[in-house]
Amino acid sequence: MLEMGVVDLGLSPDEFWELSWYEWGLYVLRQKKLSEEQKFRFETSWDQTRQMWATLVNINSPKGKGVKPDDLIQLSYDKKESKRKTPDEVAKKFKPKL
């Protein structure tokens, strides 16, 4: 915790040791918010890049052979297809063996 306080939050060791648990929690929440904002800005710039890239690829592609931006670069908020089977699919698969 001292390392995070000094390195990430810019506190001196003396300032860190004088914090109450409540104040420390506020600093941690602030750092979390800043990290999320930084991630949002980073992914927004990558989203713009992949949009332009997909446009360039699709300009010369034949009809039906185009790509979607999320095919080129995956970001954290893209829908991910789950390879997990539903309980009904598992039951159908094993029903003949039961």
**Dihedral sign (CA 32, 35, 36, 37):** positive
Taking residues 34-45, report their average pLDDT: 92
**Tokens encoding 61:** 């592609």
Alpha carbon distance 34, 83 (integer Å): 33
pLDDT category, 86, cuts 50, 70, 90?
low
Alpha carbon distance 66, 29 (integer Å): 43
Phi-psi sector, 71: left (phi>0), alpha (psi -120 to 50), beta: alpha
Q: Write out pLDDT tens, residues 42-83.
A: 989 999 998 998 898 888 888 888 888 888 888 888 877 656
Alpha carbon distance 29, 34 (integer Å): 9
Residue indicated by tokens 């699709």 = 58
What per-residue confidence (pLDDT) applies to 72? 82
pLDDT category, 21, cuts 50, 70, 90?
very high
pTM: 0.59
